Amino acid sequence: MKSFDISAYFLQQFANDDDMSPAIAAMKSLMESLRLDDSTTLQEFIAKMKDAREALSKTDVSVVSVSSGCELFMRFITLAHLELEQAADFASCREILLRRGEEFMKSMLESRKKILRSSNNLIKDGMVILTHSRSRNVLAVMKEAAKQGKQFTVYVTESRPDCSGNRMAEDLKSAGIPCTVILDAAVGYMVERVSAVMLGAEGVCENGGIINKHRASVLNSGRDLVCEHPLVDYTPPDNLTLLYTDLGVLPTSAVTEHLIKLYT
């Protein structure tokens, strides 16, 4: 592969577009890597792309989201087994991979719009919503509801250790949405006041549960006091009502079916 620092390219995506999700940035980085690839066989290409994915997983960005984005991208572009097998040479294979990569990227870049359409009636007047951290999709849904004239209020967890909830609150206030930042530990106290809980998902598990990110952080005060924050937070499917996705509104039980379709 021609000289290409995929990690630097990946991080540059965030510098250029703060609204870009880690999964999309990972896919764009793999796409650029594919464009610059100089492999002579499909096996060599797959090995290089594996190295690229491993490099991306080591960046200081959500591991779950990056891993999921890479997995989906590679799965989609290599699904055309028959086309790839019938290609005269690897140059022809590359053209097929590039075409499928571009098709997939186009579809993924439209995903947020699809989620907005599927959640059009999710927020109703008078609702009190609790959200955790800062989700681009949750923010987009709330801003769209506000544009439609919906009147609602939001409680946002502070979301330590990176305090991303504070930034979410600033975004909501800028959109004219009433919101209050609460301590993470206050969720149990506040939950009885809310109509709904809306969470973004770094990843959706096979059983329909979701994973939300927490950056790992270990703080030592110098007095042998150590505080640990988990890397990820898992919400089991039994605690979820519906998943609002680019595939539509899904019950958690439908996730396995969609995965089977993807991998067969």
Residues 231-240 have pLDDT tens digits of 567 889 999 9
Q: Is residue 55 domain-resident?
A: yes
Summarize the confidence of residues 185-189 as an average pLDDT: 92
Q: Is residue 29 domain-resident?
A: yes
On whether the CB atoms of residues 200 and 137 are closer than 8 A, the answer is yes
Please say which residue of 109, 132, 166 terminates a domain: 109
Same domain assignment for residues 43 and 132: no
> What is the helix, strand, coil percentage profile of the chain, to 5?
55, 15, 30
Supply the range of the domain harboring residue 19: 6-109
Secondary structure letter of residue 254 according to DSSP: G
Same domain assignment for residues 152 and 250: yes
Same domain assignment for residues 98 and 126: no
Q: How many domains does the chain have?
A: 2
Q: Which residues pair with 180 in a beta bridge?
A: 155
- pLDDT band, very low/low/confident/very high, at 216 (cuts 50, 70, 90): very low
Please say which residue of 93, 109, 125 terminates a domain: 109
Cis peptide before 161 (omega within 30 of 0): yes
Percent of the chain, pLDDT > 90? 44
pLDDT of residue 129 exceeding 70, the answer is yes
Residue 75: CATH number of its domain: 1.20.120.1070
Same domain assignment for residues 144 and 99: no
Residue 237: CATH number of its domain: 3.40.50.10470
On whether the CB atoms of residues 168 and 139 are closer than 8 A, the answer is yes
- Of the listed ranges 42-46, 76-80, 174-178, 239-243, the least confidently predicted one is 76-80
Same domain assignment for residues 236 and 162: yes
Same domain assignment for residues 103 and 119: no
Residue 124 has what pLDDT? 95
Q: Is residue 1 domain-resident?
A: no
pLDDT of residue 262 exceeding 90, the answer is no
Computed from CA positions of residues 25, 28, 34, 37, in that sequence, does the dihedral angle turn out positive or negative? negative
Same domain assignment for residues 42 and 131: no
Is the model more confident about 220 or about 200?
Answer: 200
Percent of the chain, pLDDT > 70? 89
Same domain assignment for residues 31 and 91: yes
